[in-house]
Amino acid sequence: MAQIYFKEVYKDIFPFWDEISESDREFICQNSVAVTYPKKTNIHNGNECSGVIIVRSGCLRIYIMSEDGKDITLYRLHKGDMCMLSASCVLQSITFDVFADTEDESECYVINGSAFSQISERNPQIKIFALETAVSRFSDVMWIMQQILFMSMDKRLAIFLSDESVRTASDTINLTHEQIARYIGSAREVVSRMLKYFASEGIVEVSRKGIKILDKSRLKQLVL
Amino acid sequence: MAQIYFKEVYKDIFPFWDEISESDREFICQNSVAVTYPKKTNIHNGNECSGVIIVRSGCLRIYIMSEDGKDITLYRLHKGDMCMLSASCVLQSITFDVFADTEDESECYVINGSAFSQISERNPQIKIFALETAVSRFSDVMWIMQQILFMSMDKRLAIFLSDESVRTASDTINLTHEQIARYIGSAREVVSRMLKYFASEGIVEVSRKGIKILDKSRLKQLVL
């Protein structure tokens, strides 16, 4: 029963599913487990191989951490997303450590790392899929890093939103991304993307009505 | 003549060379050019597709740049190294911009991006090689980013080396990496890797005799 269920889901998630042999498909399903993790649980810790994690419901936060416990969110995974960085035994070329926590109760499918590795050795399209998944995540990560390193764009945007909220005595900022970009000396695309990042962190809510500040204390932390 | 020469070199550089068809090998060579760039020349600029660059001699510096011209070196490429990030048309999943300058006069082979892309579509092992090259570079990049973002380890090490040089009235610091790590509250591996980075930047020279400061003004810039 369980295996049939995995198959149904994998068919939609893996672009290579119809191209591999029936026995390889079964092998992947036999090496899969469905796990429901409670809210706020660490499910991947650094350089261990936790396997390939597929999110069925809930939300995972992927982050890097310093020795003294500071962390930076790299990205979040939602329904249908897949984490390759947790499978260090699959992608040998990844030598840095990420962490993954659940934000809400999350149902995940976990494919055993060494099984996935075996199967990707004999199916190049699986290996390509795994590598492309990793590379596209890296592009997101590079963007965030550049903004933080070079321009403190997170800080500049946080300062602007804070100041504007005080000035107008309102939690909602009624300016276009274009206008904000002009105020903080940046480009509209940069502001939109950083606001999306803030929104994914739960700091603001972005809608047609404007930008609503949800978490003032986190916004203040960014300003410091 | 030129094509025969490309073949000799590619045989050693590309692990997939013997696995692809003779006509594909010829196609790659036909779409290759040998270029000698002068010292300190920009040879790749952001999101254009400059093709796959293979270094034959000299040295390339790969870096990211902010709008106001600040840059951070990601890594350097030497003889036999290959730059995939310059071929944005090959790896669609890379959406961020890097720059490449020659440090010395550099002889490079450049494979046309769209030709490389075509050939990698019909040879999965080429695509895997290209993606793995990119992913392994990213691991280096993540390490540098983490050190700078979290711990200002570059700054802490620079401060320590400066202070120690003044204290001992010498440009050479005669301490083991282990000892330095203890002084700055880090791990030996971190100090060794950061010193390697400083050395590649020409800031210090690391030998058995100790750590010799080569570029005091750049060291001071890091301290600021």
Model pLDDT for residues A22-53, shown as the tens digit of each residue = 999 999 999 999 999 999 999 998 878 889 99
- Both tokens of residue A14? 């893996």
Cβ of residue B20 closer than 8 Å to a chain A Cβ: no
Nearest to B131 among A132, A141, A151 (CB): A132
Decide if pLDDT at A1 tops 60: no
Tell me how many helices (H) and strands (E) chain B has: 8, 11
Q: What confidence tier does A185 reach under pLDDT thresholds 50, 70, 90?
A: low
Whether B93 sits inside 8 A of A136 (CB atoms) is yes
Minimal CA separation from A63 to chain B, in Å: 11
Cβ of residue A96 closer than 8 Å to a chain B Cβ: yes
What pLDDT does residue B153 have? Answer: 77
Residue of A nearest to B147 (CA): A66
What pLDDT does residue B150 have? Answer: 66
Q: What confidence tier does A3 reach under pLDDT thresholds 50, 70, 90?
A: low
Task: Give residues with Cβ within 8 angstroms of A23, minimum separation 6.
Answer: none
Phi-psi label, residue A47: left if phi above 0, alpha if psi -120 to 50, beta otherwise: alpha
What pLDDT does residue B92 have? Answer: 78
Distances (CA, A) of A67 to B14, B101, B147, B171, B183: 39, 34, 11, 31, 16
Nearest to B128 among A127, A148, A149 (CB): A127
Model pLDDT for residues A70-80, shown as the tens digit of each residue = 677 788 898 98
With beta carbons less than 8 A apart as the criterion, state whether A153 and A181 touch. no
What pLDDT does residue A161 have? Answer: 93
Whether A66 sits inside 8 A of B128 (CB atoms) is no
What pLDDT does residue B102 have? Answer: 94
Distances (CA, A) of B90 to A219, B31, B115: 39, 14, 9
Cβ of residue B217 closer than 8 Å to a chain A Cβ: no
What pLDDT does residue A195 have? Answer: 93
What pLDDT does residue B3 have? Answer: 65
Nearest to B135 among A93, A141, A146 (CB): A93
Cβ of residue A127 closer than 8 Å to a chain B Cβ: yes
Nearest to B149 among A142, A148, A151 (CB): A148
List, run by run, the mean pLDDT of 10-residue segments along chain B (224 residues): 78 94 95 95 87 93 77 84 84 82 94 94 93 85 74 80 89 90 77 90 91 92 77
Chain A partners of B94 at a C-beta cutoff of 8 Å? Answer: 135, 138-139
Whether B142 sits inside 8 A of A139 (CB atoms) is no
Chain B partners of A146 at a C-beta cutoff of 8 Å? Answer: 64, 66, 96
Decide if pLDDT at A67 tops 70: no
Cβ of residue B124 closer than 8 Å to a chain A Cβ: yes
CA A7/CA A92 separation, integer angstroms: 27
Chain A partners of B96 at a C-beta cutoff of 8 Å? Answer: 139, 142-143, 146
Mean pLDDT along residues A145-171: 82
What pLDDT does residue B136 have? Answer: 83
- Helices B153-168 and B216-223 pack at an angle, to 10 degrees, of 130
What pLDDT does residue A2 have? Answer: 63
Displacement of CA A35 from its chain's centroid (Å): 19
pTM: 0.72
Nearest to A131 among B125, B128, B143 (CB): B128
Residues paired with A61 in a beta bridge: A76, A101
**Residues B163, B168, B169, B175, CA torsion sign:** negative
What pLDDT does residue A107 have? Answer: 95
ipTM above 0.85, yes or no: no
pLDDT > 70 fraction of chain A, expressed in percent and rounded: 93
Displacement of CA A63 from its chain's centroid (Å): 8
